[in-house]
Amino acid sequence: MSEDEKPSNPGHLLREARRKKRRKYKKLASELSISEQYLEALEENNFSIMAGPTYVKGYLRAYSKKLDLDPELVLEAYERYLKDQRKKEKKAEKKEKKVERKRYFPLLYIVVVILIIVFMLLILLPDNNAEIQKDNESNFVPMMEKGITEENSFNLTSESASPEKLAFRENTEIIEKEPSGFIEDVSTVRTEKTNDINTIRLNFSGTCWIEIMDRKTVLEYKLAKAGTSIYLEGEGPFKIIIGHSKRAELFYNDTQINLATTTNDKTNVSCLVLPKGKCDEFAQSN
């Protein structure tokens, strides 16, 4: 098969191989321990209903071997398919941005026109404000002189007041100048932020697919073998996916987590978020 003739998706390869062998979904699902729904989804390239890329690749590899296909060829087709989908999404985003720009251009044009009109009005209006300001300044000078005169007369009256009144005013000024005592009792509280470090430990009694990630990156992504363990530290939260979860033991901060409550009975895949949260709501930051 030439490079141009290679199928662009893994579903085409699997579907054609199954038809040539005249195999039925029901029999294949029983032999592979994979639900018929997942087998149909693999042939239709509907990977969104599965737990994650780790398990999609595991299903593709198992299904390929069952149909006597080269698993690497199918996985390469899967990677090409994902790249094509990302390109299509980027093209759709660019197209949507162009539509939004065209939609907002008339509004932007109207705003610019209004700003130009306002600017022209400010330039062409008569300079009435300057005349009003001059009138206010001319009226302000006599008022200021009158205020100074009244203040001087008040000071003269105060100086001629009785000694008792002068002493009362001095005592009042002293009291007003003294600071309040409660100010000295005010204390400041300083809070220090500490980052908690959480631990994850996994023990495996059999072969398991695992994927562990936090908000920033994928921390572990591998096929764990029987008798091995994994130990990780971090701030969290963590999203953990375990295939064949019955073969694994999970400890979070040295406390064992019951995987039975988070395991899908049909796929035997466990997905959980620690310390709390839902798998379908967990998202990594860009």
Residue 130 pLDDT: 56
| Rg, Å, the chain Cα set | 39
- The CATH number that domain 1-125 falls under is 1.10.260.40
Q: Is the model's pLDDT at 2 over the cut of 60?
A: no
Residue 33 pLDDT: 92
* pLDDT band at residue 138 using 50, 70 and 90 as cut-offs: low
Mean pLDDT of 170-174: 48
Percent with pLDDT over 70 in the chain: 72
Residue 174 pLDDT: 44
* pLDDT band at residue 122 using 50, 70 and 90 as cut-offs: confident
Residue 163, exposed/middle/buried by CB under 10 A (0-12, 13-18, 19+)?
A: exposed
* Lowest-confidence region among 60-69, 85-94, 97-106, 154-163: 154-163
CB 269 within 8 Å of CB 243 = yes
Residue 182 pLDDT: 36
Q: What span, in angstroms and rounded, lies between the C-alpha atoms of 261 and 53?
A: 22
Percent with pLDDT over 90 in the chain: 51
Residue 277 pLDDT: 81
CB 13 within 8 Å of CB 7 = yes
Mean pLDDT of 144-154: 52
Residue 5 pLDDT: 41
Architecture of domain 198-281 in CATH? Answer: Sandwich (2.60)
* Lowest-confidence region among 88-97, 141-150, 219-228, 247-256: 141-150
User: Would you tell me how many other CB atoms lie within 10 Å of the CB of residue 16?
Assistant: 14
Q: Is the model's pLDDT at 50 over the cut of 70?
A: yes
* pLDDT band at residue 245 using 50, 70 and 90 as cut-offs: very high
pLDDT greater at residue 169 or residue 100: 100
The DSSP H or E segment spanning 151 is: helix 128-159
Q: Is the model's pLDDT at 284 over the cut of 60?
A: yes
Mean pLDDT of 227-238: 92
Mean pLDDT of the chain: 79
* pLDDT band at residue 266 using 50, 70 and 90 as cut-offs: confident
Write down the domain spans for the chain. 1-125, 128-185, 198-281
* Lowest-confidence region among 17-21, 39-43, 118-122, 255-259: 118-122
* Lowest-confidence region among 2-11, 88-97, 234-243: 2-11
**Beta-carbon contacts of residue 277 (< 8 Å; ≥ 6 apart):** 237, 239
pTM assigned to the model: 0.36
Q: Is the model's pLDDT at 218 over the cut of 80?
A: yes
Q: Is the model's pLDDT at 95 over the cut of 50?
A: yes
* pLDDT band at residue 194 using 50, 70 and 90 as cut-offs: very low
